[in-house]
Amino acid sequence: MSPRHLSRSEFLALTGLLSGATLWPRGASAATPSTTPVPTGKPATVTPKPSPVSTAALRRSCRAALAPGAPVDPGAELIRIGEWIQSRGLEQDFYGNSAFIEEFEARLAKLLGAEDACFMPTGTMGQLIALRIYADASGNRNVGMHPSSHHVLHENNSHEVLHGLRDVLIAPWNRPVLGSDVRGARESLGTVSVELPVRWLGGQLPTWAQLEDLKRTCRSRGVKLHMDGARLWECQPYYQRSYADICRGFDSVYVSFYKTVGALGGAVLAGKRDFIRSARMWRHRHGGNVFQMLPYVASAAMRLDDALARIPEQVRRAKLLAEALAADERLTVLPRPPPTNMFRVYLRGDPAELSARRDLIAREDKVWVANGFGPTRVPGVSETELQVSDELGDVSEEAAAQAFRKLLSPA
């Protein structure tokens, strides 16, 4: 069975398995539904699931983490944002309207080479809005996407039930969407949405030539091309081009502020002026016009430049860490080398037992080797998502890999 023929239910079964899920209680998260209980067949050996609080405390006690996401002190962070706002004398916004927010949106539009941009409370909202606008304009509700797309895996089918859109899975699971997928699609496509880089493939990217072919193909066929740039920031070192160059040829781009940038939340949708004017109305329709948005926007604005400047070094270290791990034949790393600061590791073991070993390593070595583990379609093989961030600290890549390898030894 080729990866192209993974069934929809198989894809959906993966939604509960995202790295990091064990840190977060209750299942209402946007990108990280909580882990579905995994039957182990060995109830006597199942480690009790640690409470979120104790897991967070254990994690905080570590001097290094191979995957980001340590909870911050939320009060201190708000005070920092408040002082930043005061130091600039910023005015309160009303429903996202203020001179400062307009300036930030203009700054992002310029950075992404777009005519205009609109701040969104979430990427989920921004991307749904983009696809809806294109479908209404063309009358074609088919959206070509990758089977690991956020719409398919992480939004409870909102594109279908809220916007009447149909996802057409045009690429196999195990590589990014290419121009040939669009040319070979068996259904008429109004829009194509591609994630750059592809999170579920460990941050894989099309080559520049492949990306340009995809852009040309969509343009020549009158298919709207949208970018899920949730991690666009992280792929600049691979392409060695400006964000505007990478985005040129896309009709719209979404970027996120709470992941690598580390802001409180929020996203930006960028595109043509008319498109963004329409997107603002749809933000309102989605219930996204939060009364005061300045806390989110300021949090992103004060962090963006620094966060982007640190990415090249993170990508460099990710390559070293990935190779150090891949040197152990019991570990499979995807992709090699990682083009961004993230990658995936596949290893033998049961997710619950691996989590218990992770906690043991955290106690003994003060290294947080993974956020969470999910089962794969290969019996006995689990996966985890690693990503180099500031939280890797000053441990060497070899020492980090050594700590990770302790997952392979029985506790």
Footprint of a copy of itself on 75-94 (CB under 8 A): 75-87, 90-94
Site for a copy of itself in 31-60 (CB under 8 A): 32, 53, 56
Convert 91-117 into a string of H (helix), E (strand) and C (coil): CCCECCECHHHHHHHHHHHHHCCCCEE
Site for a copy of itself in 170-229 (CB under 8 A): none
Site for a copy of itself in 240-299 (CB under 8 A): 258, 264-266, 280-281, 283-296
Q: How far is the CB of 263 from a copy of itself (least distance, A)?
A: 8
Q: How far is the CB of 76 from a copy of itself (least distance, A)?
A: 7
Euclidean distance between CA atoms 39 and 132, whole angstroms: 39
Which of 16, 68, 121, 147 lies at the binding interface for a copy of itself (CB under 8 A)?
121
Comparison of 6 and 263: residue with beta carbon closer to a copy of itself? 263
Q: How far is the CB of 8 from a copy of itself (least distance, A)?
A: 18
Site for a copy of itself in 124-143 (CB under 8 A): 124-126, 128
Tell me the one-letter amino acid at 67.
Answer: A
Euclidean distance between CA atoms 129 and 124, whole angstroms: 9
x/- map, 316-355, a copy of itself, by CB under 8 A: ----------------------------------------
Longest dimension (CA), the chain: 61
Please report whether residue 11 would count as binding a copy of itself according to CB under 8 A. Answer: no
Q: Which residues, other chains included, contact 161 with Cβ-Cβ below 8 Å and sequence gap of 6+?
A: none
Q: How far is the CB of 320 from a copy of itself (least distance, A)?
A: 29
Comparison of 290 and 408: residue with beta carbon closer to a copy of itself? 290
